[in-house]
Amino acid sequence: MSPVGGFVCTIGWTVSNSVEAQHTSVSSPTVSGHDADVRRPIADLVSPGRVDLDRRPILVFWESTRACLLACKHCRAEAQATAVPGELTKEESLRFIDSLAAFERPAPILVITGGDALMRPDLAELVTHARDRGVHVALAPSVTPLITDARLDEFRGLGVKVASLSLDGASAATHEGMRGIEGHFAATLDALRQLRSHGFVVQVNTVVTSDNVEELPTVARIVRDSGASIWEVFFLVNVGRGTSMNELGPDENEDVCQFLYDASRYGFTVRTVEGPMFRRVVRWREEERVGPVGALYERLSKGLLEQLGMPTSASRAQTKGTRDGRGIIFVSATGDVYPAGFLPIVLGNVKDDDIVELYREHPLLQQIRAAAFTGKCGRCEYRELCGGSRSRAFASTGDPLAEDPACAYTVSP
Residues near ligand SF4 (CB under 6 A):
276-277, 280, 376-377, 380, 382-383, 386-388, 403-404, 407, 409, 411
Give the integer Cα–Cα distance in Å for 339 and 140: 19
For ligand SF4, the closer CB: 185 or 259: 259
Calculate helix-pair angle for 172-179, 184-197, nearest 10 degrees.
90
User: C-beta of 407: minimal distance to ligand SF4 in Å?
Assistant: 3
Task: Pick the closer one to ligand SF4 by CB: 266 or 409.
Answer: 409
> Residue 123: which of 81, 85, 94 has the closest Cα?
94
What CA–CA distance (Å, rounded) separates 306 from 227? 19
CB of 412 to ligand SF4, least distance (A): 11
Q: How far is the CB of 278 from ligand SF4 (least distance, A)?
A: 9
Please list, residue by residue across 322-344, b when 16 or more beta carbons sit within 10 angstroms of its beta carbon and e when fewer do.
Answer: bbbbbbbbbbbbbbbbbbbbbbb
> Please, which residue, 242 or 388, has the CB nearer to ligand SF4?
388
Minimum gap (Å) between residue 400 Cβ and ligand SF4: 13
One-letter identity of residue 170 = A
Nearer to ligand SF4, 283 or 299 (CB): 283
Complex with ligand SF4: residue 120 or 279, whichever CB lies closer: 279
The radius of gyration of the chain's CA atoms, rounded to the nearest angstrom, is 19
Q: With respect to ligand SF4, which residue has the nearer C-beta, 77 or 377?
A: 377
In the complex, least distance from residue 17 CB atom to ligand SF4, rounded to whole angstroms: 10
Min separation Cβ 234 and ligand SF4, Å: 16
Cβ-based nearer residue to ligand SF4, 189 or 407: 407
CB 240 within 8 A of CB 76: yes
Annotate 215-236 with b (16+ C-beta within 10 A) or e (fewer).
Answer: bbbbbbbbbbebbbbbbbbbbb
CB 404 within 8 A of CB 389: yes
Nearer to ligand SF4, 85 or 398 (CB): 398
Q: How far apart are the first and last CA of the chain?
A: 32
Query: In three state form, how does the secondary structure of 8-27 look?
Result: CCCCCCEECCCCECCCCCCC
At closest approach, how far in Å is the CB of 335 from ligand SF4?
A: 31
Residue 377 CB, nearest approach to ligand SF4 (Å): 3
By beta-carbon proximity to ligand SF4, the closer residue of 23 and 392 is 392
Helix (H) or strand (E) holding 208: strand 201-208
Least distance in angstroms from the C-beta of 410 to ligand SF4: 8
> Between vectors from CA 48 to CA 43 and to CA 50, what angle results, nearest 5°?
110
Closer residue to ligand SF4 in complex, CB, 3/405: 405
Report in angstroms how near the CB of residue 288 gets to ligand SF4 at its nearest. 18
E strands of 209-307, at which residues?
Answer: 230-235, 269-273
Query: Do 27 and 266 touch, CB atoms closer than 8 A?
Result: yes
Distance CA 166, CA 212 (A): 13
CB-CB contact of 100 with 2 (8 Å): no
